[in-house]
Amino acid sequence: MFRAACLVGMLAAPAAAQTITVETLDPESDPQIVIVPPDQEIELFSLQQELGTVQSEVYEPAVTGTGAQLRGLDKLTGDVVDFELDNGYSIMFGSLRVDLGQCRHPEDNATGEAYAFLTIQEGRESTLDPVFQGWMVASSPALNALDHARYDIWVLRCKAASSAEGN
């Protein structure tokens, strides 16, 4: 009965008002009938004036750091571990293998605006799809985050080439 009423309401002419039957979860109450008036037509028209100039974003050149400083959290034990990883290297954090492809940062801000390309897999020799693969941004860790039941990993900063030479 309800399906038939909905079907009849959908097939009605667009200019006619629609009838919607709303049923509650209580089997003892009667259904409520709502009559929806037809929508007014939408008219598109040109303003015949310029609304402003569109400008592109300011390009800020990025440099590649020698590696990244990452932070890992074991949600089960509450342990927090900071570790450094060079570009092209891997590290095991719990049962996860973290591979750092590259860490980049603006020329004038190696710490706050760092972003790193990470591949995170379950197990040392995992052949399955990665748990995470993509760019993580240090200033916005929730933008592209690891979704794992036990572990969280995020980027803190890039290792700048000048700081690596001084060590």
Evaluate if residue 125 carries a pLDDT over 70: yes
Q: Under a CB-based contact definition with an 8 Å cutoff, are residues 119 and 33 in contact?
A: no
List, for residues 132-164, the tens digit of each pLDDT value.
999 999 888 888 889 899 999 999 999 886 544
pTM for this predicted structure: 0.61
How far, in Å, are 32, 56, 80, 99 from residue 158 at the CA level?
A: 61, 27, 19, 15
In this prediction, residue 31 carries a pLDDT of 73
In this prediction, residue 36 carries a pLDDT of 62
List, for residues 9-61, the tens digit of each pLDDT value.
444 444 555 666 666 677 777 777 766 666 656 566 677 777 677 677 777 78
In this prediction, residue 44 carries a pLDDT of 64
Evaluate if residue 6 carries a pLDDT over 50: no
Nearest in space to 32 (alpha carbons), one of 43, 19, 17: 19
How far, in Å, are 90, 91, 92, 94, 98 from residue 123 at the CA level?
A: 12, 11, 8, 9, 10
Greater model confidence, 57 or 119: 119
Q: How far apart are CA 126 and CA 76, in angstroms?
A: 22
In this prediction, residue 27 carries a pLDDT of 74
In this prediction, residue 53 carries a pLDDT of 75
Signed CA dihedral, 53, 54, 57, 58: sign only:
negative
